[in-house]
């Protein structure tokens, strides 16, 4: 029998003060087995969308572009939902008429990609100045003035050290999950401190045990909050040195072992020179494939004046590997290799030398388009080899 969390007024959400919006559609269920099926059921490579979609795809709808990805997180408006209140940061309910629209959008997305996972960002750390009234106590202040969110963002910090504000955030998270439009929530700017531990406990209580929580821990680990979190959004802003890449790989491996199941780790790196840094895109993809069962993204640096996380869609991301057939192994030459049901992926980290892979049968390189028994792989780089059935020799 499927485990099913039925979110009803009077149960967990009511205990946390959350309100289930009424749209005439009856009780909303978060089906744990269905979420797990979609996570397990996808094939690889597996790519996620962080707010912004791919920009180089032509003649397709926004929904088709979203559905290219296997996991998407966005503000609630990206899924057709609207907060029922002004300013929006005060609301703990969704507009009732937005919920059917959001559910219809979910149905259409899942028709395009039955394994897609959808998450809504719940802002808790900072927001635009319009999020709350100027004089609201939920803003963090210094000398009576609101504190900037970050250098170039134009946002202001929110006071999540306040128990009242944490309860407010949890109510909002509960309302979004109860809408039935998304599978869980995403929390940005994550660290392992007392206030965030209290916050994630409240959010977990509000959304229930089976909804997904993704947290942006960058390339850090968070042992204290790990039991409440299903995955890291690893927004890896440091990727210029071999030490950076080693730290990223170590954190991703830790997250695969220690976060809550089902796990949805999402690895993102940024280009150094341009979106044509294809070796870095391939290295990021192969690192995600060898060190996790998660998702990858290669995108623009946040320092650009344009919106963050914009990216191209790369032919390298075409499905074809199937599913993982076992854990990765590190070869004596430093490359990391993992077998999939329809091929192999190899990650050669920054700081390593070029390696030669000798297969006992011809395999096709996704990077070069060449088919043969022997392939070379520079560093940093990664590759996908389709049709390989036996492990290559060193």
User: Domain limits of the chain?
Assistant: 4-125+160-319, 324-394
Q: For residue range 166-187, what is the model confidence (pLDDT) as tens digits?
A: 999 999 999 999 999 999 999 9
String of DSSP letters for 100-169: HHHHHHHHHHHHH-TT-EEEEE---SEE-TTSS-TT-TTB-EETTEEPBSSTTT--EEB-TTSHHHHHHH
What is the arithmetic mean of pLDDT over 138-166? 93
Percent of all residues in the chain with a pLDDT value above 90, rounded to a whole number: 87
Residue-wise pLDDT for 198-251, tens only, equals 999 999 999 999 999 999 999 999 999 999 999 999 999 999 999 999 999 999
Q: Please give the CATH number for the structural domain made up of 4-125+160-319.
A: 3.20.20
pLDDT value for 9: 33
* DSSP classification of residue 41: H
Mean pLDDT confidence for 120-130: 97
203-207: Cβ within 8 A, 24+ apart: 203/122, 203/169, 203/170, 203/173, 203/228, 204/228, 205/12, 205/15, 205/16, 205/170, 206/12, 206/13, 206/16, 206/18, 206/170, 206/171, 206/173, 206/174, 206/177, 207/30, 207/173, 207/174, 207/177
Dist. CA 184–CA 266, nearest whole Å: 15
Does this chain's domain 4-125+160-319 share its CATH topology with 324-394? no
Peptide bond into 262 cis (omega under 30): yes
When the pLDDT of each residue in the chain is averaged and rounded to a whole number, the result is 91
User: Which one has a higher pLDDT value, 277 or 11?
Assistant: 277
Q: Which CATH class is domain 324-394?
A: mainly beta
Cα–Cα distance, 6 to 14 (Å, whole number): 13
Residue 360 — pLDDT band, cuts 50, 70, 90? confident
């Amino acid at each position: 029998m499927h485990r099913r969390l039925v979110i009803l007024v009077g149960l967990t959400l009511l205990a946390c003060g959350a309100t289930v919006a009424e749209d005439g559609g009856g009780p909303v269920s978060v089906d744990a087995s269905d979420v797990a099926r979609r996570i397990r059921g996808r094939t690889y490579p597996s790519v996620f969308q962080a707010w912004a979609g791919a920009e180089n795809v032509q003649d397709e709808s926004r929904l088709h572009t979203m559905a290219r990805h296997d996991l998407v997180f966005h503000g609630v408006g990206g899924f057709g939902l609207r907060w029922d209140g002004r300013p929006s940061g005060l609301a703990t309910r969704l507009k009732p008429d937005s919920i059917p629209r959001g559910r219809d959008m979910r149905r259409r997305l899942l028709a395009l990609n039955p394994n897609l996972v959808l998450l809504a960002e719940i802002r808790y750390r900072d927001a635009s100045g319009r999020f709350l009234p100027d004089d609201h106590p939920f803003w963090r202040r210094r000398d009576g003035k609101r504190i900037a969110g970050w250098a170039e963002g134009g946002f202001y910090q929110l006071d999540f050290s306040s128990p009242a504000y944490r309860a407010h955030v949890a109510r909002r998270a509960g309302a979004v999950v109860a809408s039935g439009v998304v599978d869980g929530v995403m929390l940005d700017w994550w660290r392992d401190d007392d206030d965030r531990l209290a916050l994630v406990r409240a959010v977990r209580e509000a959304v229930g045990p089976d909804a997904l929580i993704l947290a942006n821990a960058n390339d850090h680990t968070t042992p204290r909050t790990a039991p409440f979190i299903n995955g890291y959004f690893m927004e890896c802003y440091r990727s210029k040195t071999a030490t950076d890449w080693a730290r990223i790989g170590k954190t991703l491996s830790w997250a695969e072992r220690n976060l809550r199941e089902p796990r949805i780790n999402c690895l993102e790196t940024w280009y150094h020179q341009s979106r044509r840094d294809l070796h870095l895109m391939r290295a990021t993809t192969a690192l995600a494939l060898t060190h996790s069962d998660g998702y990858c993204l290669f995108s623009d640096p946040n320092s650009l004046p344009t919106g963050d996380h914009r990216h191209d869609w790369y032919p390298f991301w075409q499905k074809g590997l199937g599913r993982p057939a076992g854990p990765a192994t590190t070869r004596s030459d430093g490359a990391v290799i993992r077998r999939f049901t329809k091929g192999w992926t190899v990650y050669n980290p920054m700081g390593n030398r070029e390696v030669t892979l000798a297969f006992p049968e011809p395999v096709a390189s996704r990077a070069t388009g060449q088919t043969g028994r022997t392939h070379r792989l520079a560093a940093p780089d990664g590759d996908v080899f389709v049709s390989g059935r036996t492990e290559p020799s060193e």
